[in-house]
Every structure is written in structure tokens, then in C-alpha cells.
Amino acid sequence: MLEEKNDNLQEADGKLEIEITDSTPDNAIEASESETVAENLTSETETEAENTAEVTETNHQTALDAITNSNAEESEDETLKERHDIPMQDYDTFSMDALVDELKKLVNTDKVMSVKDHIEEIKKSFLLQYNHLIEEKKEEFNASKEDPNEEFEYHSPLKSKFDEYYNVFREKRNAHFKHLQTNLKSNLDTRLAIVEELKELINPQENIKDTLKHFNDLRERWKNAGAIPKDKYNHVWNNYHFHVENFYDYLHLDREARDLDFKYNLDQKQKIIARVEELVNEADISKAFRELQDLHRIWKEDIGPVSKEHRDTIWNKFSELTKKIHDKREVLFESQRANEQQNLEVKKEIIAKIEVLGTEKVNSHSQWLIQIQKVEALRNEFFAAGKVPSEVNEETWAAFKAAVRNFNAFKNSFYKDIKKDQNDNLNKKMALVAKAKELQESTDFGATTPIMKQIQEEWKQIGHVPKKYSDKIWKEFKDACNHYFDKLKEHKSEENVDEVAAFDNKKAYLDILRAYQLTGDHKTDLDAIKAHIEIWKGYGKVPFSRRHIEGKFNKILDALFEKLSLSKKETEMMRFSNRLDSLSDSNDTRKLDNEKIFLMRKIEEVQNEIFQLENNIQFFTNTKNAKKENSIVLEVRKNIAIHKESLEVWKDKLKQLRNLGQE
């Protein structure tokens, strides 16, 4: 982008603020005055206006008008310049929830005019989907209502949120317009007054210093004057610059200083042209066009005239490059229109598919659910397909609504036919509810439990009931069944008195076991530990929820085994034997099977380790220079011995587990 936009303006302003001293000769003023009279009607504004008129005969005018109109609109409301910061999205592809979220986000910005187009597109897309939803709900209501006088009502919390956010935007927009209209006329009067004052500046009778100071003051007031109506923008701007350039010619008494200023302005405009040449190759056409607007504004408003010999050439070059970017923008628009045409074809195909579904006969609720899912999927595809050409948008939407309406009517005719079946199902389920309530207080659990289970199975086999009764009768049935089975559960808990007593005994025995001290005699201590284990087993099972006490017992045993002078294998086998007893007491064959699989895997792993170590040691012992076994070989042999010992333990455990299964 052109660098130093603001700095360029300041420097250009500085060029006009040349110093006029008292030593300036009067004849110079007279000479300048005579030149001004001859040239005051040949300013750059008039020259460029003539050039523009010539371009009108070519395609250049279209490109220039696009820039001019856009800048004129932004001059009326400067907040429009901010609209480029927020990309327009294809809101037709958004869900209703996503549209409300996006509306909420945009409404919270202070740039009310920068989001107005976005919000209107969101509103259009939201109402499109919402109206479609309302039509569906109304058709469902009409199909299911029993009272012909009943009025259709539907409340959507999502619609309430949408209305709330949109009303906030509307209030902000109205306040903005009110403020804008108040200021536009005042600003216009201010600018017209400035133009009138400019006309009076060319007065040889006044001191040039005072005139120059007055001129700079007018320029500063012009910058701060604010927005004016867009239909007045070009006219007022042209008048202002015509008189600025007249004064410019009158002011430059020193031709050398004037030529330097022309050269500076030419350099700035050439920089703009260089930047526009880069923008011609910019991949983002919209971005290039927006920057081109800014460059036109700078060219037109911030940079002064150039010498007459360059005026036509440089302006023609600038307008030619402008046309190239404009043409690329038109190609982009054509591409977008082609995409819209493709979207139209997609939507036509979707409508055709829905129309077919509206004629396919199905004879069950489950099949209709599949059909409804298909239509819902097609409906989502329709909204996700994107925009279509505006001239066929209403026609396409009407065809879509008609296809969905016909499908719903076809579907509703089926459900009207099965309404009698649903009422029959309601009577059957109400009979089951009555039976369940009758049995819910029964204490004859042996006879009642099978009946209650049979009732539940019968409930599952009965089909749908009218929707407005469904939740109510299900709650009554579920409450009656739950009441009975809760009583059954309490009864079973009372039968588990023995397991609770076993838990209490084992809990007390843990304290005895914790206080037990080994005598130091191996056989005596080993027999004592075995006796403790037998006593523990003798207490029997504990409630499933309290089986953690077995872990505490095993932890105490592990500590005692550690203190015994048993071999590692003996200790390991005793621990395993105790664990095996716990598994067998649980009567859980799945846990025993898992234990067997675990042991077999461990045996295979250890055998593989031994095989690998033996291969490694064979490599070392076969070496010709190996006169004796070194430390590595000895370490490997030691590891082989350890693994073989471990293998024997794992095999013994597996054998013990298999023997348990044979018993």
C-alpha cells in the first residue's frame, strides 16, 4: 500500500505554506495577478473533468463511477469505511442457533452502520428458516388436534432472543440516523460557506501573508467540517478544489517554487500509480478494490495539481489501471454469479428429491421416521447450499416450501389413519398401569416378581400412544414398577444377614491378626498363619459392596510372609493360594478364566526371555578368542537361572489353578 498516507498530506500542506516576505516586489504580484486572470479557468480540476468526460465514451467511466459513488457514500457516513473490517458471510448456510449467536456478536459493536448489511442478511436467513419451522409445527398441530376450536400457538425461545438482539440494533441504527441527519445539513452549510470565503481570497489589495494565513485556516476548517449528504459530495468537492487551485495559481509567485511543488505532487501521484500497478496483481480482488478507493481519495483530496504537461498523461495512466482492477472485480462478480447458478441447480435437485419422498408410500411408524430423517437432511442441505440468483430466490423458496408441505400432508394422512391404533394402545397401557399399581404393595415376592417382569415386557411390545398422554402414563407405570422392585431389593438385603455377620466377624478378626507376633520358629509360625487363613475362610462371604476387607487381610498376610524364613517360591505360592481361594469363593468364573490367561501369557513371556538370553550367550561362547567366560557371559547365565526359577513358579501357579477347575 502507498506508504505515508497521512504524512503525504501534511507534506503537501506544507508545500502550500510558502513564505511571502515584505521584500516581494509589487510587479511580481501584478505579474502573478495577470497570469491568474489568464489561467484561473484552467485548473487541474477542469482538466480532469474534461478527461473524465472523454473516458465516458469508453469503459473507463464505469470503473471511475464505481470508485466515485462508493467514496461519496462514505463521505456521507464515515462509519461506512469500517464495513470492510467485517467480511460478509454466507448466512444462508448457518443454522438458526448460529445466526442468533452471530447477530448477538454484531449487535455488540459500536460500528452500527458497518454491520447493517450483515444484520439484514442474518434477519433474512433467520426468518426464512423460522417461517419454515412454524409452517411445519402448524401442520403437525392441525394433524393431531382433537378440538376443532383449539388455536395454534408456538413459542420459540430462539425467536425471542433474535427479536431482542434485533431491537437493540434497530434502536442503535435509528439513533445513528437521527444524529447523522442533524449534522449533515449543518456540515453542508459550513462547507458552502468555506467555498464562498475561498472565492474572496484572490484580492491583490490584501497583504499576501494575511491571505495565506486565512487560506490555511480555511483548509483546516474544511478538514474538520464533517460529513455531508452524498448527493452533494461531488458538487461541493469540485467547487472547493476549483477555488483552491485558483488560489494555488495566484499564490505561486515564484515559478521555481511552483515547479518544485508540481514536481513533489507528481512524485506522490507516481507513487500512487506504482502502488496501483501492484494492486492489479493482488490475489484478493476485494482488498485491492478497497485500497484503490483510498488511493483515489488521496489523489483527489490530499495531493495538489501537477504541471499541465503531465496532467493528462498521469491521469490517463491512473484511470487505465483503475479500469483493470474494476474489470477483475467484475470477473469475480461473474464467478460469484456462476456459483449462485450452481447453488440453484443443487437446490432444484434437493426439491426434486423431497417431491419424490412426498409420494413414496410407507406403512409403519419406523419407516416414516426414516423418511422424516431424509427430509430433514435434505432440508439442512437446502439451507447449506448457499445463495441463488436474487431474481429466482423467491421462486426457489416457494418451490421448496411447497415440496415440504406436500410431504408433511402425505405424512399426516398416515398418522391420521393410525390415530385409532394409538388410542387402542393407550387403553392397553392404562390397563397395565392399573395392574402394576395393584401389585406394587405385594409381599408375595416369589409369585409377584414374574408377573411384574411380564407386565414390563408387555409394555415394550405395545406401540405408540397419543403424544400428550405418553409422558404421564409412562411416569405412572415406572413409579409403580420402581416402588415394587425397591421393596424387593430391601427384602433381599434383609436375607443377606449372614454376609453382614461374616463382614463384622472378619472386621473384628483383623484386629487380632494385626496384633499377632511370630515366635521365630519356622514351622510353628507357618502353621499359625495357615490356621489364621482357615479361620478367615470359615467366616464365609461378605456383602459385595464390602469386599475391600479381603484386601486388608491379604496385606497383613503379605507382611507376615515377609517375616517368615520361607523361600521366595514358597512365599509366592502361599500368596497365590490365598488369592485363588478368594477368587473361587466369589463364584466368578470370568475372573478365574482371566487369571488363567494371565498366567499363560507370563509363562510365554518368560520362555521367550530365556530363549533370547540363551541365543545371546551362544554368540559369546562360540567366539574363537573366548578362552574363558567374561563378566558379561556370567551375568547372562545368572539372568537365565533367575528366569528359569521364575518360570517354575508361574507353571506351578497354572497347575494349581487347573487342579482347582478339575475339583
Answer for the pair 290, 84: CB distance below 8 angstroms, yes or no.
Answer: yes
HSE, CB side, 13 Å, CA atoms: give it for residue 306: 18
Please give the grid coordinates belonging to residue 323: 479500469
DSSP-derived secondary structure letter, 300: I
Please give the grid coordinates belonging to residue 481: 414398577
* Nearest by Cα to 289 from 53, 44, 69, 89: 69
Per-residue pLDDT, 352: 92
Q: Provide mean pLDDT across the span 467-490.
A: 87
Per-residue pLDDT, 22: 34
Q: Which residues contact 10 (CB under 8 A, 6 or more apart)?
A: none
pLDDT digits (tens, 9 = 90+) for 77-94: 555 554 455 667 777 777
Does the pLDDT at position 1 exceed 50? no
Instruction: Tell me which of 51-60, 254-263, 314-323, 639-648 is least confident.
Output: 51-60
Question: Is the model more confident about 303 or about 481?
Answer: 481
Q: Provide mean pLDDT across the span 195-203.
A: 80
pLDDT digits (tens, 9 = 90+) for 231-248: 777 788 788 878 877 776
Does the pLDDT at position 30 exceed 50? no
Answer for the pair 552, 510: CB distance below 8 angstroms, yes or no.
Answer: yes
pLDDT digits (tens, 9 = 90+) for 336-376: 788 888 888 889 999 999 888 888 888 877 888 898 888 88
Split at pLDDT 50, 70, 90, the class of 204 is low
pLDDT digits (tens, 9 = 90+) for 374-415: 888 998 888 888 888 888 888 888 888 888 888 888 888 777
Per-residue pLDDT, 92: 72
Q: Can you tell me which residue has the cell 495566484?
A: 250
Q: Provide mean pLDDT across the span 26-53.
A: 37
For residue 539, the SS3 value is: coil
Per-residue pLDDT, 11: 33
Q: Provide mean pLDDT across the span 532-556.
A: 81
Q: Dihedral of CA 77/81/83/85: which sign?
A: negative
Distances (CA, A) of 233 to 69, 76, 114, 228: 10, 8, 20, 7
Pick from 211-215, 477-481, 510-514 the range whose average pLDDT is largest: 477-481
Does the pLDDT at position 61 exceed 70? no
Pick from 109-113, 491-495, 592-596 the range whose average pLDDT is largest: 592-596
Per-residue pLDDT, 490: 76
* Nearest by Cα to 240 from 257, 223, 261, 253: 223
Split at pLDDT 50, 70, 90, the class of 584 is low
Split at pLDDT 50, 70, 90, the class of 251 is low
Please give the grid coordinates belonging to residue 70: 462508493
pLDDT digits (tens, 9 = 90+) for 544-555: 777 788 888 888
Cα–Cα distance, 474 to 436 (Å, whole number): 12
Per-residue pLDDT, 46: 43
Split at pLDDT 50, 70, 90, the class of 289 is confident
Q: What's the chain's average pLDDT?
A: 75
Percent residues over pLDDT 90 in the chain? 2
CA 179, 185, 187 angle in degrees (round to 5)?
Answer: 90
* Nearest by Cα to 413 from 135, 147, 139, 153: 139
Cα–Cα distance, 411 to 239 (Å, whole number): 70
Q: Provide mean pLDDT across the span 212-228.
A: 79
Q: Quick one: angle between helices 467-495 and 445-461, nearest 10? A: 150
Does the pLDDT at position 464 exceed 60? yes
Split at pLDDT 50, 70, 90, the class of 481 is very high
Per-residue pLDDT, 162: 86
Does the pLDDT at position 570 exceed 50? yes
Does the pLDDT at position 112 exceed 80? no
Please give the grid coordinates belonging to residue 189: 452549510
Answer for the pair 75, 67: CB distance below 8 angstroms, yes or no.
Answer: no
Question: Is the model more confident about 211 or about 444?
Answer: 444
Residue spans per domain, the chain: 55-74+254-390, 422-491, 589-662
Per-residue pLDDT, 45: 41
Phi-psi map region of 465: left, alpha, beta (phi>0 left; psi -120 to 50 alpha): beta
Split at pLDDT 50, 70, 90, the class of 434 is very high
**Which amino acid is it at 143?**
A
Answer for the pair 123, 92: CB distance below 8 angstroms, yes or no.
Answer: no
